[in-house]
Amino acid sequence: MIELVPSDAEAIDRGEPSLELRHLHRFFGRLKAVDDVSFKAWPGQVMGFIGPNGAGKTTSMRVMATLDTPTAGDAFICGYSVVDDPDKVRRYLGFMPDSFGKYANMNVVEYLDFFARAYGLKDAERRDAIEHVLVFTELRKLADKSIDSLSKGMSQRLGLGRCLIHDPQVMILDEPAAGLDPRARVELRELIRLLATEMNKTVLISSHILTELGEICDSAAIIEAGQILAYGTIDEIQRQQISVDADSTGRRALHVRLASVDNLEAATSSLEKWLLEQPMVKDVQCSIGHAMFDIEGDDTEQQQLLQNLMAVGHPIIEFHGKTQSLEDAFMNITKGITQ
Amino acid sequence: MSSGETFLHLTDYVTDRLNPILVKETRQALKSRQFIITFMLLLTVAWLISVFGVVLNGPAIEFGAAGRMFFAWYVGVLGFATLFVVPFGAFRSMLNERDYNTYELLSISTLSPRQIVTGKLLSALAQVLIYYSAIAPFIAFTSLLQGFDLPLVVLILSLGLLWSLFVSTVAIMLSTLANSRQWQALTTIGMIALLLWQMVTAFAFGGIAISESIPFDNDEFWWGLGSMLVGMGGYLLLAQQIAVSRLTFESGNRSSGIRIISTVQFWLTWVGILAYGGWYGVSNIEGDAVFAFAISASIHWGIAGLIFSTESEHISRRVRRGIPQSQFLRLLYAPWLPGGRRGLLLLTLHLAALIVIGRWSSWPQWIGNHVMQLPVWESWVGDATTALALYVFIYVGFGSAVGRLGQAITPEFRPAHSRVLTILLVPLTMVAPYVPGMFSYRYQVRSGSYYWVTNPFSTLRRISSSNRGWSGSSPEEAQVYLFILGIAAAIVLLVNLRALIAGVSDVLDWPSAANSESAASDTEGTNAVVPG
């Protein structure tokens, strides 16, 4: 198992986490749907929960949402245990399942009104909450429309609005973008971003669309076969994955960019020649203004190489390790195990 | 503020204080096709009855007792809506919550399971009242006719309302029992059959009540009516509690409420019998009445006891937090706390009470006729009640022991398995005496043989006959049957004794709520929550 220990996420003092899983287990007979899962999330954080189908994402989310009980371990929402205090947890939690729960013969306002009442909101507080949600989700114009006739995108907005009606601190969204067209997806993404940035909510979101998660999440947990394979900020996961690759091959890929000097072609050629002379440098590939190569060694060798490059006088303006997308990291970390 | 706005604010204020499910379901129902069709049908049919009734009766309507006839027809129309459509709607309403994925949204809201069930029930009641208000003008019309009997009308309509509420509660309870699609389909078919059967039965009773004159001045009538209402109320509460328990979160207490209601029902019935005896003088309690109580109590505790005694033994921290601090109170409360061992203890205590009641009822002949006269002087009641209680204990005790053994062998062994095994054991033991005769006539177990002891019906018949000297049986025969059953019950008790003691000592040994909290935080992350 690849163990990525987050640094930024836990090192920075953010106070108490609003969402925490401690050694969560959920077994169905012999099937270990969730096997010793632990992570934390803080207010204002959008955390991606990533994994292939059957990895244990929805099971974990159902436990966090007090729809299921763990076989062992616990989950805490704003400090309350989902096992011991599910009724308190529910006050601080908004859960959007992967399917939109529809009621027949009901319009948008009545739907929100019912859930506002179900969360104990009364009088002006209830009316204000409904109005706020209608404005936030931009459903004001559709307030009197039957929920049966809403498009998928509008239904997802209404689902999000339902989650928000009691102003929870933590929101758990299970595949909210599934089945949405590109415009609806972008709009939903913006709404989710606002939840964290403007409303300081903790958002845990699962999705298969990793490029999107990469754009809205500041941290992620990658789960497969019920176990967390990687957990940390998106940058950490991407960078550390490269480090892991380097550790396993003994090489690390680097990229160098040259400044736009007068004779860039000559400068590139000079750089290529110099690199080929270095014993720890392998597989040099150059294009005008760029050079990509592998270096054998650790941080010390990398630092030494950079110093030498500068000392020789190459007009370098960028020197960094090869970046990879969240999708690349996911593909590298997961093994395609199904259970 | 205009009067319209004032009205809206007032409506808002009132509905804010109502059950949210009631508000939602009433809104939905008023827009639903099913409600509109039923409502219009009810009005149309009632109107047709009025028109055709008047036309067909002709001038006879002036002097004949047409009031009752018209009332019977209106009640019939009303009955279809309130005894079939409304309960079935309540049943479907709960199932729809699962089918349309809204149940999860409800359960993660701050609504309690009791609020959900009560809301469903109240919305059924609201619909019933709307149907009542629709039929009211037609019933008012019958008051203009000869034969109109106001007490009868009030009684029938009140009983109809209560019965509809009872059936709706049972429907909601049944809808919470079926989780899988297959079970839901099966339960729906069963529900339709049950609703049709109860509706036809209610119509039959209603028809008799309307056609005959009701003896309002007879005490027996009121005793009968009161008993029926108390019984119905008890089972309504039980059905509601079962539904609530089914919806309660897994780490919550799903059992104590049902246990308490079952206990109250048992003692309330016995107190009712004693009160009846007290009203008429104790000698008026007949042996049959006590034995009828024993049979109903045995069935009641047989079913409830089997469920309680095969429950998972795991008690969550959440439940533990709610137990009393004092050791004495814990000891008293232990049989009503969740867990199979404590369930068996509760059953054992009540079966022991049932035996005492049966014995006490037949006291004079049990120890001699010189003893003061007590309610019942038919000794067979004591013997038969004892036998019934012992049978229930043997069967359920077996199920409980099998459940614990199965759990010890594999965690895959679920409470449902031991329940099914116990239920299968009953017919197996009943047919056991027939088995040798299936191989050869020579091995046939003869009537009167003690081998028949495995068949409860045969035993009860023999005990009843032997005490009364029927069928050539002797009084000693009953004692032999009781002896055999006593030995079997003692073995079952011995097998379960450690579990019974552990059930109580567990409760006494639990740390207090404060300690439990700290213990929980000390061992955080390692708490095992084993779903039942």
Same domain? B209 vs B80 = yes
What is the per-residue pLDDT across B345-360, written as a single tens digit (0 to 9) for each? 999 999 999 999 888 8
Same domain? B66 vs B157 = yes
Same domain? B158 vs B261 = no
User: Cβ separation of B101 and A69 shorter than 8 Å?
Assistant: no
State mean pLDDT over A256-264: 87
* Structure tokens belonging to residue A41: 């999330």
Decide if B300 contacts B412 (C-beta within 8 A).
no
Same domain? B256 vs B125 = no
Same domain? B305 vs B373 = yes
- Look at residue A183 in the predicted model and tell me its pLDDT: 83
Residue of higher predicted confidence among A4 and B123: B123
Same domain? B316 vs B465 = yes
User: Cβ separation of B530 and A71 shorter than 8 Å?
Assistant: yes
Decide if A305 contacts A280 (C-beta within 8 A).
yes
Among A85, A99, A114, the residue with its CB nearest the CB of B24 is: A114
What strands, in cross-sheet order, belong to the sheet with A202-206? A93-96, A170-174, A202-206, A46-50, A219-224, A227-233
Report d(CA B123, CA B15) in Å as an integer. Answer: 13
Answer whether residue B225 is part of any domain: no
Decide if B259 contacts B344 (C-beta within 8 A).
no
Dmax (CA) for chain B in angstroms is 96
- Look at residue A229 in the predicted model and tell me its pLDDT: 87
Question: CB distance from B524 to chain A under 8 Å?
Answer: yes
- Look at residue A333 in the predicted model and tell me its pLDDT: 74
Question: CB distance from B476 to chain A under 8 Å?
Answer: no
Question: CB distance from A66 to chain B under 8 Å?
Answer: yes
Report d(CA A139, CA A158) in Å as an integer. Answer: 8
Answer whether residue B518 is part of any domain: no
The pLDDT confidence band at residue B283, using thresholds 50, 70 and 90, is: low
Same domain? B179 vs B324 = no
Residue type, position B162, single letter: L
What is the domain range of residue B382?
243-513
Q: Which residues of A touch B251 (CB under 8 A)?
A: 69, 83-84, 86
Residue of higher predicted confidence among B131 and B466: B131
Residue type, position A109, single letter: V
Answer whether residue B526 is part of any domain: no
CA distances from B466 to A43, B89, B383 (A): 79, 52, 10
Give the residue from B195, B214, B233 where a domain finishes.
B214
Distance from B250 to chain A by nearest Cα, in Å? 7
- Nearest C-alpha neighbor of B381 from the set B397, B349, B357: B357
Residue type, position B145, single letter: L
The pLDDT confidence band at residue A302, using thresholds 50, 70 and 90, is: confident
CA distances from B42 to B80, B134, B330 (A): 9, 8, 55
CA dihedral B402, B407, B411, B413 (to 10 degrees): 10
What is the per-residue pLDDT across A161-197, written as a single tens digit (0 to 9) for each? 999 999 999 999 998 888 788 888 888 888 898 999 9
Same domain? B146 vs B30 = yes
Q: Mutate which of B24, B108, B112, B527 to test chain A, going by most A C-beta atoms within 10 A?
A: B108
Residue of higher predicted confidence among B493 and B459: B493
User: Cβ separation of B24 and A99 shorter than 8 Å?
Assistant: no
User: Cβ separation of B112 and A115 shorter than 8 Å?
Assistant: no
Report d(CA B222, CA A59) in Å as an integer. Answer: 56
Q: Which residues contact B287 (CB under 8 A, 6 or more apart)?
A: B361, B362, B376, B377, B378, B380, B381
- Look at residue A41 in the predicted model and tell me its pLDDT: 93
In order, the DSSP letters of A23-53 are: EEEEEETTEEEEEEEEEEE-TT-EEEEE--T
SS3 A95: strand
Answer whether residue B75 is part of any domain: yes
CA dihedral A300, A303, A304, A309 (to 10 degrees): 160
Give the residue from B176, B194, B214 where a domain finishes.
B214
A55, containing H or E segment: none
Q: Where are the alpha helices (DSSP H) in B248-339?
A: 256-280, 287-309, 317-321, 327-333
What is the per-residue pLDDT across B359-392, written as a single tens digit (0 to 9) for each? 887 765 444 444 444 444 567 788 889 999 999 9
Question: CB distance from B314 to chain A under 8 Å?
Answer: no
Same domain? B180 vs B116 = yes
- Is the pLDDT reported for residue A10 higher than 60? no
What is the per-residue pLDDT across A70-110, written as a single tens digit (0 to 9) for each? 999 999 999 999 999 999 999 999 999 988 888 988 999 99
Among B104, B321, B527, the residue with its CB nearest the CB of A72 is: B527
- Quickly count: other Cβ atoms within 10 Å of residue A37's Cβ: 25
- Quickly count: other Cβ atoms within 10 Å of residue A56's Cβ: 26
Residues 119-178 of A with CB under 8 A from B: 119-120, 122-123, 126-127, 162, 166
Among A29, A101, A104, the residue with its CB nearest the CB of B412 is: A29
What is the per-residue pLDDT across B479-526, written as a single tens digit (0 to 9) for each? 889 999 999 999 999 999 999 999 999 899 887 655 554 444 444 433
The pLDDT confidence band at residue B400, using thresholds 50, 70 and 90, is: very high
Task: Delineate the domains of chain A, giving CATH numbers in brackets.
Answer: 8-240 (3.40.50.300), 250-323 (3.30.70.920)
User: Cβ separation of B251 and A84 shorter than 8 Å?
Assistant: yes
- Is the pLDDT reported for residue A5 higher than 50? no
- Is the pLDDT reported for residue B199 higher than 80? yes
Answer whether residue B520 is part of any domain: no
Q: Which residues of A touch B27 (CB under 8 A)?
A: 105-106, 110
- Is the pLDDT reported for residue B530 higher than 50? no
Decide if B276 contacts B223 (C-beta within 8 A).
yes
Answer whether residue B284 is part of any domain: yes
Residue type, position B442, single letter: R
Instruction: Please state which of the ranges A306-320, B58-72, B327-341, B438-452 shows the lowest mean pLDDT.
Output: B438-452
* Structure tokens belonging to residue A182: 């590109």
- Nearest C-alpha neighbor of B401 from the set B427, B433, B425, B385: B425
Same domain? B372 vs B326 = yes
Report d(CA A43, CA A47) in Å as an integer. Answer: 10
Distance from A245 to chain B by nearest Cα, in Å? 32
Answer whether residue B219 is part of any domain: no
Residue type, position B349, single letter: L
Question: CB distance from B248 to chain A under 8 Å?
Answer: no
Answer whether residue B480 is part of any domain: yes
State mean pLDDT over B262-285: 82
What is the per-residue pLDDT across B285-305, written as a single tens digit (0 to 9) for each? 677 778 888 999 999 999 999
Residue of higher predicted confidence among A125 and B63: A125
Q: Where are the alpha helices (DSSP H) in B410-531?
A: 415-431, 435-439, 456-468, 475-509, 513-522
Question: CB distance from A214 to chain B under 8 Å?
Answer: no
Q: Which residues contact B268 (CB under 8 A, 6 or more apart)?
A: B230, B234
Same domain? B258 vs B301 = yes
Mean pLDDT computed over every residue of chain A: 86
In order, the DSSP letters of A274-335 are: HHHH-TTEEEEEEETTEEEEEEES-HHHHHHHHHHHHHHT--EEEEEEPP--HHHHHHHH--
Same domain? B210 vs B256 = no
Q: Which residues of A touch B524 (CB under 8 A)?
A: 22, 74
The full length of chain A comes to 339
Give chain B's domain count.
2
| pTM, rounded to two decimals | 0.83
- Look at residue B471 in the predicted model and tell me its pLDDT: 57
- Nearest C-alpha neighbor of B382 from the set B352, B356, B349, B350: B356
Instruction: Please state which of the ranges A95-104, B57-66, B147-156, B436-445 shows the lowest mean pLDDT.
Output: B436-445
